[in-house]
Amino acid sequence: MTDAEQDLLLKWDVRQRLTLLEATVFWTGELVTGFLTNTFSISRVQATKDIGLYLSLRPDNLRYDRSLKRYLITEQFMPLLITGNPQECLQVLQATQNAPPSVLTLISNLPAVEVVTPPTRHIDIGVLRPVLQAARFGLLVEIGYQSMTTPEPATRLVQPKTLVFDGLRWHMRAYSLTHDGFRDFVLARIHAATLIGKPETPSPVDTAWETIVTVRIGPHPGLSDSQTKAVERDYGMTAGYYSAPVRAALLPYFLLALRIGKDDLQREAMSQQIVLINREELKPFIGFS
């Protein structure tokens, strides 16, 4: 029986566990048995059986390191259940933030839909894998980055903290040792990434990330009464405004997604429709007044 034929015989729940197992090894470079037990609420015996089954399908993909007490990826790794495409990984990361697993059971009963998808930003797999591993294990990574404020690319030494999706692009929130401060780097503009190792000293606290601000938006004052009520219904506004907690570091992206800029009050009401109400309060955190 071929791998493909045996794969088709896997039960749904087993396939899900093996897929996560393979994706974890591929993107982070390692797997601890406890990860499967904690994620799927299965026994250690069952997790060991799953790993054994996976090794029967792809015996050359993993090797067990007794000193580290974990499975490590091999140079001969060949995906069985995943594609290894960067967008596949990023879509999973995005989905984990937006929908509970129970929603997946509804898919077969949903009506047909069409989704307008903007062009996908190309992200090199040779960039995404070390970035994910650096963020997961607190490592430094040296990146080649093309900023839009400089004509030529430059090398940066950074410690990735988390990935951020702003609705259109993926960013890496990282402490830049080169700049001695926290910066956002667009993943698609990183053309090379090399893992360096553990930093000599811990990075400082990311104050802008830890600070939560409240954003209040309301209908444009130029709308008619009926239009105002329609906008309030559209955004689920209460008492004439919608309120949302946002990390200060992500506030510019949040406002950009809502198409709110420094001229929202000056723009034509029908095209702008919503405006930022507590502008003065948020001045220290946004790039416009």
Work out the percent of the chain whose per-residue pLDDT is above 70: 89
CA proximity to 275, closest of 266, 287, 283, 284: 266
For residue 256, pLDDT over 70 is answered with yes
Closest by CA position to 223, among listed 278, 277, 272: 272
Q: Of 88-92, 101-105, 157-161, 202-206, which range is least confident? A: 101-105
Tell me: pLDDT of 161 over 90.
Answer: yes
Percentage with pLDDT > 90 across the chain: 61
CA dist 244 and 260 (Å) reads: 15
Structure-model confidence comparison of residues 14 and 188, the more confident one: 188
Q: Please state the rounded mean pLDDT for residues 236-240.
A: 92
pLDDT band at 12 (very low <50, low <70, confident <90, very high): confident
Domains in the chain, please, with CATH? 3-73 (1.10.10), 125-204 (2.30.30), 208-285 (no CATH)
Q: Across the chain, what does the average pLDDT equal?
A: 87
Kindly tell me if the per-residue pLDDT of 93 is higher than 80.
Answer: no
For the segment 38-87, what is each residue's pLDDT rounded down to a tens digit?
888 889 999 999 999 999 999 999 999 999 899 999 999 998 888 888 87
Burial of 78 from C-beta contacts in 10 A (0-12 / 13-18 / 19+)? exposed
* 64-75 per-residue burial string, b: 16 or more CB within 10 A, e: under 16: eeeeeebbebee
The pLDDT assigned to 96 comes to 60
DSSP 274: E
What pLDDT digit, counting tens, does each position of 100-154 carry?
Answer: 554 444 555 567 777 777 787 888 999 999 999 999 999 999 999 999 888 999 9
